[in-house]
Structure 1
Amino acid sequence: MAATMLTRADIQALKDYVSAPGNFGQNQAESTVRLHVTHSNLKAEFIELRMDLHMTVEAVKLKLGTHCGTLASDMILHLKDGSGKLVAILAESHRKLGFFSPEDGWVLHVIDTNPNSLSARGWLEDTSKVQKYVMSDADYDARENTYRRHKAQKQKDDPEWTAEKELCMRRGMPYVPSAQKEVEEDEEHQAAEASRLSVGARCEVNPGGKRGCIRYIGKCAGLPLGYWVGVHLDEPVGRNDGSVKGKRYFECPLGYGSFLRPDTVNAGDFPEIDEFRFSDEDEI
């Protein structure tokens, strides 16, 4: 027999049918009821559960216990209607839930009679009451690949290393120590130092003795306030291509550009050198 091919219209109609209220996943069996659950030790109405009307009161208590931490033997159940009026106390363990004719939206209120229950005194809602695990320094130091070990190694290589400094390097930005930040809140910071330099002049950058040509002098959006010098380096020891955060200040190949404070740049007769003896400090 040839297979029947469904058209797009047939498939969409099937999807609409499945997702429509009352069908498949949205269906509620006639023997189930949706009840809200509240608890004497918990502040909020904490859950809505579907209960089978054929369940015994004991089975209902056991199911509730898995959600609220109260043992069935410590539980008194009150059934309330939608307005909050008490309908029945579910005291007979063998009695079926359906005996009480609950309706969707009614409330099962759990009263916990055990003062040492998991739910008592806010233990299930107030995390500040939970004892936290605290690792000793000795145990932490014995672990590998920790931040403390990473920091120690970095500071061994660079005594002035900080996490902020490393983030600046990774982002291609100049690192400004915290002690200098207050000084550099002035928009004219190092204006005098910048005035002795000129675009097109050969220069040497220190520390490090890197050489190149000055291509830009001025302020840079995205960098700390004050004046900056853009240098096209002779060797690919820079960190950019003459741009900062998408804004271009001069043209050069990637890795040849660097932005530095004017006081680190000396202009003069500095011809190109072949020796590779550079440092990455105070630049991007």
Structure 2
Amino acid sequence: MSEIIKLDNSDSCFITANVTNSHNDAVAFEMKFAKDITISQLKSKLEIITGGSASTMKVELYKGDSYVTSLSNNDAKLGFYINCDGLRIHVVDSFVSFGFDNEKVEKFELSKDQYEQKTNSVRNFLKQNKIGKYNEEEMKQMEEKRREQAEEMQKRADLCILNSRCQVTVPGNPTRRGTIKYNGELEGKNGIFIGVQYDEPLGKNNGSVNGKVYFVCPPNYGGFVSPLSVEVGDFPPEDFDDEL
């Protein structure tokens, strides 16, 4: 799962579990449920979260990616199945497994306006709780941060003049000195990249990426990094022959 949305609903005699949906398992809602509710009542609550139907949904229990059991007894208490936090409740709409030929079955689709009017949709739930893109203040802050990062990126890239000496600092790698040989975009990638010919064979290529040549240098002397990792200045080549 790529994103977990936490909802504060603390109380005693509750268990905490992540809720995922077979139609969109990229988002998991971390929620608290009372242990004494029945599975039938749980399904009704899951309607709001997943957009599924309590009458047709199938509820499965996972520990990480490992299947544990199916919550199949509607009259059983949730605590019968779950006694600890950190498990995952996965909702599968039962009509998915009926074996219909999707090419022959006429599909029912809601218009944008009809979907907006639904009160039990995932979108409405996110709106009501101001989660993700429906949190205007959070989105403004994210947009402002992206704008500032783009401006700083462009400012640093403007300093990276071809054939200038530079020092490259990338987390997890040694600081390397070299000469700027390329400044621009790379095919198939977003953003600006600075191509550097290092003084030592501490690079990853010869100035080429995926078969396209951006500059020419010996093998393992070339590398492409973010402008934010490049410091332009008077960095003469280090004399490695004098080192023991």
Q: After TM superposition, is the score higher than 0.5? A: no
TM-score (norm 2): 0.35
TM-score (norm 1): 0.30
Q: Which has the larger radius of gyration?
A: 1
